[in-house]
Every structure is written in C-alpha cells, then in structure tokens.
Amino acid sequence: MKLKWKAKKLTLVIIPDANQSVVRFRIPHLFAYIAAACFALLLLITTITYVLHSHTLKQASELQSKLTGANQQWSATLTSKDKAIEQLQNEVIQLSQQAEQMKTQVEEMKKFEDDLKTIAGLDLNTTGKAVASTESGAVSGPPDETTLDAVSGIGGGPNPASQEDIIELGERTLASFTVLNSEVKELQTSLTETKQKVADKQHLLQITPTLWPTTTKLVTSTFGYRTDPFTHRPSFHSGIDFGAKANDPVYATADGKVVSTGTDIYHGNNIVIEHSKGLRTWYMHLNKIMVNKGDTIVKGNQIGLVGSTGRSTGPHLHYEVLKNGESIDPKPYLKAMRKDE
C-alpha cells in the first residue's frame, strides 16, 4: 500500500466590495510557518533593540548627570582656586608693603644707632646710609594714630594687576626680604658692638672725675702759680679752690674707693678717693667727713661738708686731681653738673 502525501495549503480569501469578485490565494503551510517565524524574529529583534536603546538612554542620562556634577565641582574648584590665587596676590602685595615698612624701620634703627653713638661720643660710621635714607623723603607704612583721622581716605582708578605684575612684585619682594635679612643681621651685630662701646664709655665716664664737686661753680683760685694768700709770695697751687658756704655739700666726682680720711694743719679735714687708670681725687678743708676709709663710692655721692679747716682763709673746697701721684689741672675733667640739677 502506497501513501500519497499532499502538500497542505492555506487559502486566503479576499472579499472586496459586493460588485467585485472574490480573490483567493493558496499559501503552503511551510511558507506560513516561515512568515510567522520571520515575524517572531523581527518582533524579538525589535524588543531587544528597544531594551538596549532604553538601557543606553539610561546610561547616557546617568553619565550626563555625573558629567554635570563633575562640571559643577570643577567649576566650584576653579572658583575656589581663583579666590585663593587672588588672596595670595593680595598677600604678596601686603608683604611688599611690609618690606617697605621694614626698610624704613631698619633705616630708623641705623639713625638711632648713629644718634646713640653721637650721644655717647663714639665714632660714627662714615657710610652715611642712615642719613641718606632719612633725607630721601620717602614715606612708607601706615600713618601714626595722631594723624589717622586726617589721612584715613584712600582711592584711585581701577587698574587690575596682571599675573606677570604680581610675579614680578613677588620676586622684588623676595629680593627685598633677602637684603633686609642681611641688613638686620649686620644691624644686630652693629648694635651689639655699639651697646658694648656705650657700656664701656659709661663705665669710663663713671670712673672719670668729670663731676663738679660742689653746688657752686665759683672758682676762687685756679690751678697753677699764684701769690700765696698767707705769705704773699709766688707759690704753686696744686688744685682748684671752689668758693662756697660753710656746710655746703661736697660730692665725689667719680666712682671709686676711699683710700684715706684724716686731718692735718695744712689740709684740714680731707678725703682721698682712688678711681682707676692711676687717678685720685683729693677734697680738703672740710667741715665734716661723711665717709670712712675703705668705703666704695658712687659718682655723685655726698662725702662731706664745705668748711675752713687747716690752712684756709675762709669756707671753700680745695679740690685736687692726681694722676700717678702727681697733681694735674682738674679743669679739663670738669664737664658735668650733678644729675639732680
């Protein structure tokens, strides 16, 4: 028995308007299956494409959001950097102004040192830098408080400084601070030396008999040859006589140590004070001695009272300066009155 396979077909009937004939199509089942498979495949591809497109759109949206956030962050960072740079530029300008102020202060310190040397009688530095700086007329730094109200206003046109200007200003400021650092070190050394010289000068002044021994400057007899008030013959006067009232104070003319106190028919009540560098001072005809042998004396201390003891015609102080045991003229030493006058 032989089986006969007949291809199965699908019939499609198209019914147009009533006045037209019916159209029939016969389609094999295989072709219908293929068409259905193609449609299903197309639908699958479309679905996959849609899903992928949606995913891509989502990723693009996320990336756009991240990019926007990063852009805002970078923008904020850039703004912050710009502010920081502007602040640094302003600080460079302030440092430049401070450098100018330091220059003025250093020059003032140099002038102060020169003034200090002048007061102390020390040799001045002949460079003349301090004088030149103070005569230049340059004014730097803020005004003092007494004139602040009168000069508190500032102004000027808007002239923004470029980055190159600030860099150049910074380089100049750095160079100025380098020079100032060197000058300050030199000034510190110079001031230390000046301080020591002033201290030495003050010590020398303290041990040098420059003070007047009485409250009066009335000289009744000078150092040197004169007519003796008792014999009326030429004689040598080894000191200076200061006319004063009885019991007027007598002062030590320099720092020293009392090496002798006593009385005799010629010198009356007298005191000898030893200083340094071979110098001694001798105070005679005192009415009263107010110190003892061995006492340490400070320049200007009261040591006795004016009198007329010994070989004397009336109240006065006979004052002598001895150098290495020989009497010398006291006049060149007498330069200063007492501090309380």
- pLDDT, position 308: 94
Strands (DSSP E) contained in 192-244 are 219-221, 224-227, 234-237, 240-243
- pLDDT, position 157: 63
Cα Dmax for the chain: 198
Low-confidence ranges of the chain (pLDDT < 50): 1-3, 5, 126-143, 147-148, 340-341
Asked if residues 247 and 302 have their Cβ atoms less than 8 Å apart, the reply is no
> What is the token pair recorded at 158?
């808007």
Q: What is the pLDDT of residues 196-240, one digit of tens each?
A: 887 777 778 888 899 999 998 899 999 999 998 898 999 999 999
Q: How far apart are CA 264 and CA 284, in angstroms?
A: 10
- pLDDT, position 70: 87
> What is the token pair recorded at 171?
């380089």
Count other C-beta atoms under 10 Å from residue 56's C-beta: 10
Give the three-class secondary structure for 50: helix
Alpha-helical (H) ranges within 121-157 are 129-134
- pLDDT, position 153: 66
Nearest to 197 by CA among 284, 263, 269, 124: 124
Measured at the alpha carbon of residue 50, what is the angle toward residues 47 and 52, in degrees to the nearest 5?
Answer: 110
Q: Residue 226: how many CA atoms within 13 Å on its side-chain side?
A: 13
For 117-133, give the DSSP string.
Answer: HHHHTPPPPTT-HHHHH
pTM of the model: 0.52
Q: How far apart are CA 319 and CA 221, in angstroms?
A: 10
What phi, psi does 267 have (nearest 5°)? -95, -10
Q: What is the pLDDT of residues 238-290, one digit of tens each?
A: 999 999 999 999 999 999 999 999 999 999 999 999 998 899 999 999 999 99
